[in-house]
Amino acid sequence: MLNIIVKDLLEYVDIEESAITEKTKPATDLHLNSYDYICLVGKLEDDLGITISESDLKGFTTLGDLDEYVQKKMLQ
């Protein structure tokens, strides 16, 4: 699932794909701002057919956190 998140993320940041890992922090490492972040979340919802609630967003520090959350959502 991380590869889908990274693919979507690359639409918003100018960085080599190989530099992005599950430990990457979108806000501090990639300087992804809130608008781009909410767009990324919306794109993941659209691509994967899931709903990510606002209250869950505060739990995502790294892309690994987001990946784990998305995987759980896909199983529901």
Partner 1 sequence: MIYIICSKGDRFITAEDQTDMSQHLIRTGLSGEYGIDIGNDDIIRNAWGKPFLRDHPDTYFNVSHCTGGIALSISPFRTGIDIEKVRPFSVMTARKILTDNELDTIKNSPCPELDFFRLWTLKESYIKALGTGLSYPLKKISFTIDQNSNIATNLKGCMFGIFENEKDFVVSVCYLNRNDRLKETLIYRLLS
Listed ranges 2-10, 16-24, 29-37, 65-73: which one lies at the site for partner 1 (CB under 8 A): 29-37
Closest distance between partner 1 and the C-beta of residue 34, in Å?
A: 6
Quick one: 40 exposed, middle or buried, by C-beta within 10 A (0-12, 13-18, 19+)?
Answer: buried
By CB under 8 A, tell whether 54 contacts partner 1: yes
CA pair distance 20, 29, nearest whole angstrom: 9
Stretch that binds partner 1, among 2-10, 16-24, 26-34, 64-72 (CB under 8 A): 26-34
Q: How big is the site for partner 1, counted in residues (CB under 8 A)?
A: 17
Amino acid at 32: L
Q: How far is the CB of 44 from partner 1 (least distance, A)?
A: 11
Verify binding: residue 42, partner 1, rule CB under 8 A: yes
| Residue 4 contacts residue 48 (beta carbons within 8 Å) | yes
Place of tokens 């940041």: 13
